[in-house]
Amino acid sequence: MARRRVAILISGRGSNMAALLEAAKAPDYPAEIVLVAADKPDAAGLKTAEQAGVPAAALDRKGYDSREAFEEALDSLVRASGAEIICLAGFMRLLSADFTERWRDRLLNIHPSLLPSFKGLDTHARALAAGVKLHGCTVHIVRPAMDDGPIIGQAAVPVLADDTPDALAARVLTAEHRLYPLCLKLYCQDRARVVEERVRVDGLSAETPLLMWPE
């Protein structure tokens, strides 16, 4: 199967972007990263992408009169790269319904909670305040509502008695870097498919778990 062409959208350092770039170095990985784009010209992840030899571009949201104009430019940039799939990796803008529908079932996101719990920001502090015993991250197909859409995979981490938001965030981030490359791999292999607004995955095994538990 030919490698699928993927664009990654970031807003900051892009640690999940880096995890996807690292995974894509493997010759048998089914995705090729053809573009990294940021909505901030000072996003640190742009330099990481350039150092990896991946085309990188910044579209400063402040330079556009409206969200519609920004998204038109973003859409044109991604399509010009030949990307078939978009991965959001710390992209801190809520995309419009029009944009998400243009890329329906080809737009993936990773969120630092076990959705549908703790949508939005400050997920780690909110998890601690709620007293949950498990926290984690979710890779899902994007729908117009914030942090909504069919779930491809999740990874859980324990919440410890002495956790701080930063300590918990670090543990979740480690899980994110494992989960996102796996989910993108299965998606690009057409083994993860949206059926009636749920993701069905073919051929799961111990090597490809889509619910990762604390070790």
Task: Give the mean pLDDT of 204-213.
Answer: 67
pLDDT at position 206 over 90: no
Task: Give the mean pLDDT of 39-59.
Answer: 97
- Matching residue, tokens 């008695």: 161
CA atoms within 13 A of residue 94's CA, in its CB half-sphere:
10
Give the pLDDT confidence score for residue 74 in this predicted structure. 98
Cβ atoms < 10 Å from Cβ of 68: 12
Give the pLDDT confidence score for residue 52 in this predicted structure. 96
Does residue 29 or residue 210 have the better pLDDT? 29
CA 120 to the chain's CA centroid: 14
CATH fold label, 1-103: Rossmann fold (3.40.50)
pLDDT at position 204 over 80: no
- Residue 6: pLDDT band (50, 70, 90) is very high
- Which of 111, 124, 140, 177 is catalytic? The answer is 111
**CATH class of domain segment(s) 113-139+149-215:** alpha beta
Give the pLDDT confidence score for residue 209 in this predicted structure. 65
pLDDT digits (tens, 9 = 90+) for 179-198: 999 999 999 999 999 999 99
Every domain of the chain and the residues it spans = 1-103, 113-139+149-215
Question: Is 111 tagged catalytic?
Answer: yes
Instruction: Please report the beta strands in 21-150, taking only residues with DSSP state E, as ranges in sequence order.
Output: 31-38, 56-58, 85-88, 107-111, 134-141
Q: Of the candidates 82, 83, 13, 75, which has an alpha carbon nearest to the alpha carbon of residue 48?
A: 13
Same fold, 1-103 and 113-139+149-215: yes
- Model pTM score: 0.95
